[in-house]
């Protein structure tokens, strides 16, 4: 009986170690290298997916070797158990990719079958376990694996990295309580944008008209928009500087959206990546599942100078540490310098100016010299109301989704943004500031689009001579 408990403990620790430690080791980027090195199978899908990393595999093997030795197994047995369990985990991931299951998504039974089955075969050989004992151990491991995975994903998240200026919530309940909608129930019901328009009227209309399926297909047909901006004051070192701009991901709002985005961004090589907020569909509740999808996406982004983001109206402040765990450097009413060959530009990011209205341009721009080249990242084009007092060269926004549902000639039915229509999507100019409002990569409310395709934007900065 003691032997059986030791085996179960060993298998549980081997499989839990990568999940627990990898988020805390996100600063070591080499550990996050995908095991399949980004390669695709003949069916057009990733071999294993971004969720399976070199670091995770190595941590599982190391945990097996160390704990196996502590539990009086031989070092070789512990090492082999760790390797076989991680290999089985990779095999289950390969099978899930063939069935188009989300990267990192739970598949009860399938996940545990190979994670536990492969090393249990080893113990049958080394310790002479009977088939009945193997079956019993496998059944217990499946139950423990399912329960443990759900407990961790739904209620427990990694602890806050040192030095963060915000307080994080460590349980699903605290996340729900902290990230609640800041409206009364009556106001929430009467919120035309969130409930009456999206959840009742539009969804019913689209489904009854038979247009819903086409709208979903449109929402997954993400285009790559390439733009060029020229500036007289752009430093020479930043000539042909490429920026990947993605706004309004709502990455959990439509099945398959994350996979489409991964396919697109994995093919791009840029200098800088900017994320314009609204990372999830809802405005409240736990966000562990959203974080998983974001981690998988961010791992595929190849940006030399890093990945930076701001908060949108779907993102409460408590989500910021989790976004930084995902390797996104969050700018919350602050600026930072990006240096290249002794020259620099300023990257500035404000908090949400639409729903929370916590944007503070004065604080954000206070350290930016008047003659410096600056890029301002704001969730909504409503930020133009404060641009007159600050010298901004390029302003990048989102939030509007370009209307998401647009009529021929007329354009957006609703923009959900109290600014002139010229600022709702595409290029614009406000005084000396060049701007662009993205149509967004995801969809809000009802996950459909008409005459307004989702987009990922590639901007190239050049010097105007």
Strand partners, 450: 405
In a domain, 108, yes or no: yes
Give residue 320's Cα distance to chain centre.
12
In a domain, 174, yes or no: no
Residues of the chain scoring pLDDT < 70: 1, 23-30, 43-45, 100-108, 150-204
Q: What is the pLDDT of residue 152?
A: 60
* Domain count along the chain: 2
Q: What is the pLDDT of residue 201?
A: 56
| Domain shared by 119 and 193, yes or no | no
In a domain, 163, yes or no: no
| CA–CA gap between residue 352 and residue 398 (Å, rounded) | 11
Give me the CATH number covering residue 392.
Answer: 3.60.21.10
308: burial class by Cβ within 10 Å (0-12, 13-18, 19+)?
buried
Q: Residue 275: what are its φ and ψ, rounded to 5°?
A: -115, 125
Strands 269-270, 302-303: pairing is: parallel
| CA–CA gap between residue 78 and residue 298 (Å, rounded) | 33
Given a contact cutoff of 8 angstroms between Cβ atoms, the answer to whether 405 and 450 are in contact is: yes
| CA–CA gap between residue 295 and residue 104 (Å, rounded) | 10
| CA–CA gap between residue 73 and residue 141 (Å, rounded) | 19
Q: What is the pLDDT of residue 25?
A: 67
| Domain shared by 117 and 230, yes or no | no
From residue 141, give the alpha-carbon distance in Å to each of 11, 28, 108, 190: 8, 31, 11, 48
| Domain shared by 129 and 195, yes or no | no
| Domain shared by 324 and 372, yes or no | yes
Other CB atoms within 10 Å distance of the CB of residue 385: 13
| CA–CA gap between residue 370 and residue 22 (Å, rounded) | 42
DSSP state for residue 185 in the 8-state scheme: H
**What is the number of alpha carbons within 13 Å of residue 160 lying toward its C-beta?**
14
Name the residue range of residue 410's domain.
189-463
Q: What is the pLDDT of residue 355?
A: 83
| Domain shared by 7 and 58, yes or no | yes
| Domain shared by 213 and 89, yes or no | no
Q: Residue 34: what are its φ and ψ, rounded to 5°?
A: -60, 140
Q: What is the pLDDT of residue 381?
A: 94
Final residue belonging to a domain, choices 155, 174, 200 = 155
Helix (H) or strand (E) holding 309: strand 307-309
Q: What is the pLDDT of residue 190?
A: 45
Q: What is the pLDDT of residue 236?
A: 95
The pTM of this model reads 0.63
Helix (H) or strand (E) holding 303: strand 302-303
Instruction: Take residue 230 and report the two structure tokens written for it.
Output: 């020229």
| CA–CA gap between residue 436 and residue 415 (Å, rounded) | 15
In a domain, 178, yes or no: no
């Amino acid at each position: 009986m003691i032997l059986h408990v030791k085996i179960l403990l060993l298998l549980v620790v081997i499989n839990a170690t990568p999940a627990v430690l990898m988020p805390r080791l996100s600063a070591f980027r080499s550990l996050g290298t995908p095991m399949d090195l980004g390669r695709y199978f003949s069916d057009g899908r990733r071999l294993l997916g971004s969720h399976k990393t070199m670091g995770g595999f190595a941590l599982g093997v190391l945990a097996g070797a160390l704990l196996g030795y502590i539990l009086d197994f031989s070092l070789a047995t512990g090492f082999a158990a760790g390797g076989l369990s991680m290999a089985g985990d990779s095999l289950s991931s390969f099978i899930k990719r063939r069935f188009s299951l989300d990267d990192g998504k739970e598949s009860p039974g399938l996940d545990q079958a190979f994670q536990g089955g492969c090393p249990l075969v080893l113990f049958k050989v080394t310790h002479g376990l009977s088939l009945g004992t193997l079956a019993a151990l496998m059944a217990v491991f499946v139950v423990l694996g399912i329960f443990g995975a759900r407990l961790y994903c739904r209620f427990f998240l990694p602890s806050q990295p040192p030095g963060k200026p915000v307080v994080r919530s460590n349980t699903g309940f605290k996340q729900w309580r902290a990230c609640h909608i800041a409206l009364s129930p009556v106001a929430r019901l009467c919120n035309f944008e969130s409930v009456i328009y999206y959840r009742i009227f539009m969804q019913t209309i689209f489904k009854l008209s038979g247009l819903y399926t086409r709208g979903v297909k449109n929402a997954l047909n993400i285009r790559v928009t390439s733009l060029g901006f020229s500036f007289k004051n752009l430093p020479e070192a930043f000539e042909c500087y490429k920026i990947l701009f993605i706004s309004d991901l709502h990455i959990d709002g439509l099945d398959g959206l994350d996979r489409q985005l991964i396919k697109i961004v994995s093919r791009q090589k840029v200098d800088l990546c900017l994320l314009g907020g609204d990372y999830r569909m809802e405005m409240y509740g736990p966000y562990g599942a959203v974080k998983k999808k974001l981690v998988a996406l961010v791992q595929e982004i190849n940006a030399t100078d890093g990945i930076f983001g701001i908060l949108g109206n779907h993102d409460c402040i408590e989500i910021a540490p989790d976004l930084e765990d995902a390797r996104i450097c969050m700018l919350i009413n602050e600026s930072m310098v990006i240096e290249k060959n002794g020259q620099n530009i300023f990257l500035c990011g404000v908090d949400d100016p639409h729903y929370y209205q916590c944007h503070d341009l004065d604080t954000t721009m206070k350290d930016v010299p008047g003659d410096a080249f600056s890029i301002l990242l704001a969730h909504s084009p409503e930020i133009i109301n404060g641009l007159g007092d600050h010298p901004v060269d390029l302003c990048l926004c989102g939030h509007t989704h370009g209307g998401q549902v647009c009529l021929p000639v007329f354009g957006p039915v609703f923009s959900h943004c109290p600014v002139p229509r010229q600022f709702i999507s595409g290029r614009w100019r406000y005084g000396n500031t060049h701007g662009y409002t993205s149509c967004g990569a995801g969809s809000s409310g009802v996950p459909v689009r008409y005459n307004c395709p989702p987009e990922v934007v590639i901007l190239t900065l050049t010097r105007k001579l």
